[in-house]
Amino acid sequence: MKLYLGDSLGIGRGSRFVVIQIAGEDLLAFNRDQNGMSLDLRLFDADGKIIYGLDHNKLLPNNNNMWYAEVPATGHSILVHDQHAVTVLSVNYINKLAMRLSGQFHYAGHTVTVGEDGILMDTIKINSALISSPTGAMISIPKRP
């Protein structure tokens, strides 16, 4: 599986590939099976409220927060917007084994931002990286002591 994160590339092997983990919580993971790739996702706002969730591409119900998602005309992308109409996630399915992603991931007082110009983990910037993690999360921020 290939995942394009801004100007970086993540390569995952196996049937599950955790991309972003904060304080032990898997916020973004990809699954691979005979049908291709599916997405597991937990998007929180900066206040810790869940905005949007997916489990194997199936929407997890959330009636406590306002958001909306749109599928552009190509049908191969999804955009998720928060209650302020800010795009908090953009996923583009390139083919059965590759995706491009950008967005903001908040959890436990940490923020990971994936943008066109790189990845920002709290205050640490990553540019033009090739990341491969056969066993753990591609991007991981541990719990604060």
Look at residue 73 in the predicted model and tell me its pLDDT.
66
Per-residue pLDDT for 63 more than 90? no
DSSP annotation of 59 reads E
Residue 76 has pLDDT above 80, yes or no: yes
pLDDT score for 135 = 57
Global pTM reads 0.82
What confidence score (pLDDT) does residue 102 get? Answer: 93
More confident of the two residues 4 and 64 = 4
Handedness of CA 8, 98, 44, 70 (dihedral sign): positive
Domains: count for the chain: 1
For residue 109, give its domain range.
Answer: 2-141
81-84 contacts at long range (C-beta below 8 A, 24 or more positions apart): 82/45, 82/51
d(CA 127, CA 65): 33
